[in-house]
Amino acid sequence: MNRGDLLACPQCDLLQRDAVPPPLKALCSRCGATLYHRHEQGLDRTLALTLGALLLFALANAFPILSLELQGERTEATLAGAVLGLWAETPLVAALVFVTAIAMPLAELVALAWLIVPARLGAPCLRMGPVFRLAQVARRWGMIDVVVLAVVVSFAKLRHVADVTPGLALWALIALMVSLSAIEASYDPRELWRCGRPV
């Protein structure tokens, strides 16, 4: 029996054999917990969402998040500009914001595209194992939702002292947050390993 055919329940740790062909949803035979939930054309959906999220990521980093006008002077804040501004005051916080808001979300999206495109084309995937692990780590460290929350709180606080206008990047970040959640819901690593051919 292949070890890849075994599933461990995340709730009760019962080790059980996967059905062949794999069903869309597998439940633990002991406690009924969900072992995995696949979607029809899950990889195609994940790839489409990933490419859309990469476009949103580019928009979120190319345009201002907020435009602030105070005493006739207008200032625009971008995500990279916020990181540079923080670097002058608190380099550790700036590094944390850079990693969680820029580096890790980008690493996750690029890694997913790197894995899924060859799998859908039936081609071998270079460095599949390390890239797969990078995608898993990046998903845990990417915190776009925290950035969006911080921007919304800043918008609410600054609105009383200045004329604040949300920029295109804020809407792109909100759409990116939703896209990342949709990717997580449709992405099934088991399907990727079945389709992919590592090199």
Q: Mind listing the pLDDT tens digit for each residue in 142-157?
A: 999 998 998 888 888 8
**Which pLDDT band holds residue 197 (cuts at 50, 70, 90)?**
low
The mean pLDDT value of the chain amounts to 86
Q: What per-residue confidence (pLDDT) applies to 2?
A: 43
pLDDT digits (tens, 9 = 90+) for 16-38: 887 656 667 788 888 988 877 77
Q: Average of pLDDT values for 57-62?
A: 95
User: What Å distances lie between residue 142 and 26, 30, 68, 168, CA to CA?
Assistant: 28, 34, 27, 21
**Which pLDDT band holds residue 4 (cuts at 50, 70, 90)?**
low
Helix (H) or strand (E) holding 70: strand 66-70
pLDDT digits (tens, 9 = 90+) for 71-129: 777 888 889 988 998 898 899 999 999 999 999 999 999 999 999 998 888 888 888 88
Q: Where are the alpha helices (DSSP H) in the chain?
A: 42-62, 79-89, 91-98, 104-121, 128-141, 144-158, 168-186, 189-195
